[in-house]
Amino acid sequence: MMSLIPGPDDLFLFHEGSLYQSYRLLGAHFIENEGKAGVRFAVWAPHALEIRVIGDFNNWNGSLHQMSKVSIWGVWSLFIPDVQEGEYYKYEIVNAQGITALKADPYAFYSELKPGTASRVCSLENYQWQDGAWFKQKETQSVYNRPLNIYEVHMGTWKKKQDGEYYTYRELADELIDYVVDMGYTHLELLPLAEHPYDRSWGYQATGYYSVTSRFGTPQDFMYFVDRCHLRGIGVIMDWVPGHFVKDEHGLRQFDGEPLYEYNDPSKAEKPQWGTLMFDFTKPEVSSFLISNALFWMDKFHIDGLRVDAVASLLSLNLGRPDGERITNEHGGDENPEAVEFLKRLNTTIFAHYPHALMMAEDSSNWPKVTTPVHDGGLGFNFKWNMGWMNDMLKYVEIDPYFRRGSHNLLTFSFMYTFNENFVLPLSHDEVVHGKKSLLNKMPGDYWQKFANLRLLLGYMIGHPGKKLLFMGSEFGQFDEWKDLEDLDWEMLDYDSHRSMKHYVRDLNHLYLKEQSLWELDHQPEGFSWIDADNSSQSITTFMRKSSDPDDFLIIICNFTPVVHEQYRIGVPLSGEYSEIFNSDMPAYGGSGQVNMGKLKIEMISWHDQPYSLKLTIPPLAVVVLKPVKTHRKASTTKKERG
């Protein structure tokens, strides 16, 4: 049972930086004191002269409830009897200069609906979870050699009601989860759900790190959403933002009248790129706050993993800074050593508590060993977004197909480093907003070619080693870029091209789930080999994806021009027959129908450094997937021809 006053052991660990469930120490918690039910409030504010709790329960009159300092390092506490679930409150903090400010609780579990800024008293203890089987299943499976295909969603704009109101967590638990399951995704990734004041920040500038946003319902409603995801076999990843926070007056900025959660040095605290403040990783209490928060979403909401936002901005002191404002560390370098140590401690702690968690770094830097364990000299994440692949591919597909031959290296360069880290291939929200255009509208050519190019890009992504992520709307070819105040253009599904695009992505995703060679050896060189990487003149690549079974592999051919190639010869490793199991040019997908029917028989002609070869039709702007039907041992002698 929770004590009336925070215990000395917990206080010591909090101030040491290693109280990793500090949300049990601080914030508002229901307790009993001498038979009287009420709430214990506790807050860290070492520079405050006086702190009072104000709220519904005292008509917002702070003189009735003054807090007492219970640690010499600045934790304050107060028990107030008869406080009820859902009541609003704030801290009235008097700073050392006698100036009073009203602050929301940094550890609040629930917040007032925007534009209100108060915290709400809330218990998280009464939800009855039903997802035990989900967690038992995760214990038996490696995250590395299982399919991982992520649908990235902003809950406020995936779909809205006719009157413009948001769908609630419980309503989304029906409609969104059904959609994700039908489309063949394995995981949902949710843009930040921590409470935030401004819709167009998308959640990336938070004020309530422990408070799931009230825009869509209560914390228990969100628990229900996650529970339903798990019952349907869908994992849940949340964007998490440990690098910076918003400057709104009711939030963390100068919380007790002095820089507290941010660096004391303004030049280091300021994040000019976003107009935010950076967390001060030299303060042990900030580490306790942030690492506890990462665990909190897993402890209380059963989140399966975190996509850690803007890791490059943590590693570098100067990312986004103008040249005239650059700063250095004590050794004269660009690195932020305390942020590096924070990330290592974060990942070590998460995996100690949740060995099967997903910890994904959104990192655009060249920092080495991002997905190497900390004990082996790495940062300790288990996945990293492959920003290089994303940038190269989007640059390539925006080139007119007739000129792509001059940029063939953009297609193939990623294979030089694809096994250096455990990569996720992201086509995320950042690439379809702020004038960058939607994926479909990035594509060159006429209307038909735009859809064909998008089908090709997504097919190439499924074939490329690495886990997958696609932002909502791209699966049906949203023509406009993401409008972050409106829902997706679902009405486009009234048109054949968009409906066919959705059909294509659904079938592509289910192909991915079915074919072990597309994911089992994603992070091992043995899972991939080139057949032909060098056909720049025709902008065609041919490669294999392999599973641990030597007879189980796929051959993937991608044609990045609108030219049809008949009787196109490719090398194959085994004898027997092959069949076309997938073709993005099928009429059902909006294609021209250049498909390969029946069995494709090999010839005893070596080609592309393979002992056998076969001929097939290569459709325009399309991806073709072949699979062996019947294989035999490699022949000892073959007719030699040059490929």
What does the alpha-carbon distance between residue 54 and residue 35 come to, in Å, rounded to a whole number?
23
Catalytic hit among 309, 392, 421, 522? 309
CB atoms within 10 A of CB 406: 10
Alpha helix (H) residue ranges in 81-168: 132-139
What does the alpha-carbon distance between residue 258 and residue 260 come to, in Å, rounded to a whole number?
6
DSSP 60-74: T-GGG-B-EE-STTS
Strand partners, 308: 240, 361
- Kindly give, in sequence order, each residue whose CB lies less than 8 Å from that of residue 442, ignoring residues fewer than 6 positions away: 394, 397, 398, 436
Distances in Å between the Cα of 621 and the Cα atoms of 89, 185, 544, 608 are 59, 25, 19, 22
| Cβ contact 591:619 at 8 Å | yes
Catalytic hit among 262, 280, 362, 363? 362
> Is 362 one of the catalytic residues?
yes
Residue 6 corresponds to which amino acid? P
Distances in Å between the Cα of 92 and the Cα atoms of 56, 63, 157, 173, 448 are 14, 10, 35, 38, 61
Tokens of 366: 């060249």
For 551, the enclosing helix (H) or strand (E) is none
Tokens of 362: 């959104």
| Cβ contact 589:503 at 8 Å | yes
Positions of E strands within 158-198? 187-190, 194-195
Distances in Å between the Cα of 504 and the Cα atoms of 203, 458, 590 are 31, 10, 9
Tokens of 420: 């250096």
Residue 470: closest CA among 498, 437, 505, 514: 505
- Kindly give, in sequence order, each residue whose CB lies less than 8 Å from that of residue 122, ignoring residues fewer than 6 positions away: 28, 85, 86, 108, 109, 110, 218, 219
What does the alpha-carbon distance between residue 47 and residue 185 come to, in Å, rounded to a whole number?
49
Task: Give buried/exposed letters for 68-107 (b at 16+ CB in 10 A, else e).
Answer: eebbeebbbbbbbeebeeebbbbbbbbbeeeeebebbbbb
Residue 451: closest CA among 604, 579, 591: 591
Phi-psi region of 217 (alpha: psi -120 to 50; beta: other; left: phi over 0): left
Catalytic residue set: 309, 362
